[in-house]
Every structure is written in C-alpha cells, then in structure tokens.
Amino acid sequence: MRALKKWSFLFLFLLFACSAQTNLVPLGKGNMSMNGSFGGPIVSAFNTWVPIPYMTTGMGFGVNDRLDVDANLHLLSLPYSLLGFHTGASWYPVISNGSVPTIGVHPQLLGMVSMKKNVSECFKVYPVVSGSVAWPVKRGLFFLGMDLCVPFTRSDYDKNPESAILSPYLGYRWKIASSWYLYTELKWHGANVQSDQFAVDYLNLYNYGALTPLFAIQRSF
C-alpha cells in the first residue's frame, strides 16, 4: 500500500499534467474524434533542463450539439505496471458566435490501476474539473482555461498539502488538413503548489508549480 501511495503521488503529478486539452468546441451529434497527446514537465537533470516525455491517446463522441463524452488511455505509465486513464464529458453552455467565445465545462475522472501482485489497494480515482474559453483566430482557435484537481490521498512528506491543485493553461489549435488539427499548449501545472515541496526540480514560475509544454494531434470524423 505504501508503494502504491508513493507511485500514486508521482504519477498524479505526471498524469494530470501531461494531456493537452483537446475538448474546446463541440464535435456535433454523432461525430467522433481520435487524438494523441505528447508532452510533460521540464526537470533539471545533467546540468540542463530535460522534458519528461509522456503520451496519451483517446477518443471522443458527440452525444448532441452541446455535449461530448471521451475516454483516454495513458501509455507511458504501463512500464511501471500502472494503468492510467481519464474519462468524462464536455458541456458547452456557450457556442462561439462572432466575438463571443465557446465556453466549455469538462468534468473528468483521473484513475490509476496498479497491475502489481500483492497490492492491498490497487485503484485510485481523482476528480478533475476544467473550464475552457476558445476564440476563432484566422483558421485556428486561441484558447485558455483552468484545471482543478482534488487529490483525496495525502502525501507522507507534506503534512499540510493543498486541498486542490490549480493548473491554468493557454494554447492554440492549428488546422493542418481537412479534419486534422494540431494543438500547442503551455500549462502551469500546480500553480498554487510551492516548487520546493517536490522531490524533483521542475522548471517553474515564481517558485510555484511546473511549466509543461504539451502537443496533440486530433482527427475528427
């Protein structure tokens, strides 16, 4: 159980940080999308800054013109015998019309399943809620938003941890071909968490959180 707690906190930070926001506008009723995301926090190593590679893949489905559902698998946690995933929905109360942006609300569940033997507690789930605002700019979309994660588990090294993790982000979605999009995003993960609480030296801002560049490719059909 202690081993799972140790790994769960390491991968909570990585899993939550390392997936680009691809739910910015509704897919439309009956439409689908596939995406692959790559990126990660930047850490100090070998006397330089090194990005931590991380990959996810997933699919989305348009339930109606204002509601989508999606499921995503985290690929690079598998070598550590951890199955990571996040799944949820996206609701769009406001759709872009001229200067009015598209506003999205994205409740998600971030989960981890330990595939190791003789583990007494092998399943962890964390709720995540995101809000996004996206404006059409030329052929693409400029977007910004905020992730809110509530970690139920408490760490051993921090007796007074934050009750929630805030992660603002901004980026741009490029249309690169018919039904193909490229997402470029910068996330300030854990913006309310002091960087000296982490065992790893992350590239941070004002000694808080970790700066995380993210990229994603999406195809809609």
Closest by alpha carbon to 122, among 113, 131, 133, 130? 113
Confidence of residue 47 (pLDDT cuts 50, 70, 90): confident
Residue 154 — very low, low, confident or very high, per pLDDT cuts 50/70/90? Answer: low
* Structural domains present in the chain: 2-220 (2.40.160)
Give 48: exposed, middle or buried? Use CB within 10 Å, 0-12, 13-18, 19+: exposed
Mean pLDDT of the region 97-121: 84
DSSP secondary structure letter of residue 99? T
How high does pLDDT run on average in the chain? 84
Token code pair at residue 145: 């938003």
Distance (Å, whole) CA 74 – CA 56: 4
Model pLDDT for residues 53-103, shown as the tens digit of each residue: 788 999 999 999 999 999 998 887 776 677 888 899 999 999 998 789 999
- Look at residue 182 and tell me whether its pLDDT is greater than 80: yes
What is the Cα Rg of the chain in Å?
A: 17
Give the separation between CA 92 and CA 65, rounded to whole angstroms: 9
pLDDT at 3: 40
pLDDT tens, residue by residue, 24-46: 999 999 999 999 999 888 888 88
3-state secondary structure of 15: helix
Look at strands 102-114 and 82-94 and give their pairing: antiparallel
